Amino acid sequence: MKNYVKAIVTFIFLMAAVAFVPTTSEAALSTPTNLRQTRATDNSVEFTWDTVIGAYDYYTSISDGMAWSEPERAWDIKESYSKLSAGRTYYVKVYAIDKNGNKGPESAAFEVVTAPDASQVQTTVTAVTENAISFSWTPATGATSYDITSRYDNIVPNLSVTTTSATVGNLAPATWYGFNVVACRTSSSGFKASDSYTTVTYTQTAGTSLPTGNTGTVLTAPATPSTSNFGVYTGSAPAGTITFQASDPNRTANGYELEVRNLKGKLIKTISCSSTYSASTKFRKNTPYKYRVRLYATNGVTKMYSGWSGYRYFWISNVTGKKHYSLRSSNAKIKLKWAKVSGTKGYNVLMSTSRDGKYKKVKSLSKKAKSVTLTKFGKKRLNKYKTYYIKVVAKIKVGKKTVSNDAQLINYNY
């Protein structure tokens, strides 16, 4: 009987012990971990954390570094706060409660940031070349860096800078590019908060016009012209005047600047032109010059210049002459005379029976020569009934190279 009673008592004790083993929901809650920011605007933040085992709900609070807000129910493992200030740092904390309302330990304060106010950023294009665009902007309060992003696909990889200026390089000449400046604020955990952006555009001054192109884009300077893109259009040897021409294959230039120097490099004239052909310009005769050109486009504020081209050469030499013949013969001779061209090493006399045909050298003269009499073209005597085209070419050397004269005069009707 005692053993039976003892067994009953033991059974009741064990059942009571089982009845008082705590369930999972009643176990101690752990501290929320792995807090991380997931989103930001210029007046709000969003953050999340890992699930706490046994948690029924979560409560969060926020601080501006001075005071903490009253805890608010989160309902899920993420929370957001709005009506915050732009470009600021805040701190958040979170704790879990179980289904009985028991509070778990609070997390450590975690840093979150709002995005800077993009409306504070005002851009200005500061320099443009054919391969780069530089611009600056007003700072946004609280920004720790700025991202430079492309509006299109024709840009090198995006940039990030900590200053309020940037230069984007490796660009193509005479090409429209679009850039945005994005003000950012980065938290201690590495989250970069940004909201809107500001488009880089030209700053227009009163009384000026912007270049034709897409709104919110910047045009790189024209490509450096080759020596085949410009030259002497026409000239007058008696008057000693020259008209130049230049073209832009990309058709983005608004004009060109032409620079004329003597062979020693001294600047003689600078000619600026907004059309293909320059005004007629007077130069000293019988003096060799070198000249080069650069194109420009306007951005409404200043001119954007291409690089300088290579040099071409010209000199104005007024050759005069007359065909002599008798009535009794078809033979003729042509007498030419000219003034000495400065620095020449000699003269070649070229002749053709067609203005645009092939010219053949018929005489080679010394640098002292100032006249010549021609009686033959090849092996044939000159005929008084034929027209001959003649060039008296001064031999001008630049370094070891003999250069050609873009203003070469052709004498004809002889």
pLDDT, tens digit (0-9, with 9 covering 90-100), for 275-289: 999 999 999 999 999
324/330 Cα distance (integer angstroms)? 11
Q: List, in order, residues 6 or more apart from 208 with CB less than 8 Å away.
A: 298, 300, 301
Q: Would you say domain 227-314 falls under CATH 1.10.10.1800?
A: no
pTM: predicted TM-score of the whole model, two decimal places: 0.72
369/346 Cα distance (integer angstroms)? 8
The average pLDDT across 202-229 equals 70
- pLDDT grade, residue 207 (50/70/90)? very low
User: What superfamily in CATH does domain 26-113 come from?
Assistant: Immunoglobulins (2.60.40.10)
Query: From edge to edge, which strands make up the β-sheet containing 36-40?
Result: 36-40, 45-48, 78-81
- pLDDT grade, residue 158 (50/70/90)? confident
The average pLDDT across 343-347 equals 97
- pLDDT grade, residue 214 (50/70/90)? low
User: Among candidates 189, 110, 193, which has minimal Cα distance to 145?
Assistant: 193
pLDDT at 18 over 50: no
If you classify domain 320-403 with CATH, what class do you get? Answer: mainly beta
Q: Give yes or no for a contact between 62 and 87, defined as CB atoms under 8 angstroms apart.
A: no
Q: DSSP states of 132-187 as a string?
A: -EEEEEPPPTT-SEEEEEESSSSSPSPEEESSSEEEE-SPPTT-EE-EEEEEEEE-
The amino acid that residue 304 corresponds to is M
pLDDT at 216 over 90: no
346/99 Cα distance (integer angstroms)? 109
Alpha-carbon separation of residue 226 from 4, 312, 397 (angstroms): 116, 10, 21
pLDDT at 304 over 70: yes
CATH for 118-219 is 2.60.40.10
* 57-95 pLDDT, tens digit each: 999 999 999 999 999 999 899 999 999 999 999 999 999
Place of tokens 């203005």: 355
Looking at the chain, the domain(s) classified CATH 2.60.40.10 span 26-113, 118-219, 227-314, 320-403
The average pLDDT across 371-397 equals 95
Q: Give yes or no for a contact between 42 and 86, defined as CB atoms under 8 angstroms apart.
A: yes
307 phi/psi in degrees, rounded to 5: -75, 165
